[in-house]
Amino acid sequence: MAYFRRANDPTSLRFVKGYEPNFRRGVLEHARSKSMMYGGTIERFRVLSVNKRIQYLFFAGPDNAWIVPPQTTKTELSSFGVRTIDVPIDENLCVPGYEYHYVDESVDPPEPYSQIPAGFVGHANTHDPDRADASPWIEQMPVIREFRRRLLGS
C-alpha cells in the first residue's frame, strides 16, 4: 500500500495507485487537542484514500506532523476486538513526531536504541529526553509536504 523505493530515502515514498490519501475530498474529520510534549495545539485529520478502502490519521503540532498507522474502512472485528484486515505499509511511513532515541542502560555494555531511521535524528524532546524529533525524516516525505500544503496551508 505504501513503500519506499530506496532504503533510507524519505523522498522515495510511493503509494499503490488508489491508496494515496485524498486530501481534496476525503477529509472525514478534523479535531484539535493539546499536548505538552508537542508544544501546544495538535490538529488531527482523518482522511480517506482515493479508493475509500483505507483511512489515515494525520497529526500536526506547532513543529511536527506525522501519520499513525492507517486502517481499513471495513469495521469487522475479530474475537480479540481488532480489525480483521491489516494495512501493509513500510513502518517508516508512520514514525511519530517524537520517537524513542536513547542509550539503553539495561544492557551490558549500554547501547544506542532508536526508532528513527539512521541519519535523521533531530533534537531531544524537552519533556521526554528519551524521545527525539523525527522531523528530519518525516518532513522529507512527499505525503507530509502535500498534507501541510493542502490541509494546513503551509
* pTM summary value: 0.90
Which residues face 60 on adjacent strands?
A: 43, 65
- Residues 97-140: tens digit of each pLDDT: 999 999 999 999 999 999 999 999 999 999 999 999 999 999 99
My answer on whether omega of the bond before 109 falls inside 30° of 0, hence cis, is: yes
Q: What is the pLDDT of residue 58?
A: 98
Give the pLDDT confidence score for residue 83 in this predicted structure.
61
Is residue 20 pLDDT above 70, yes or no? yes
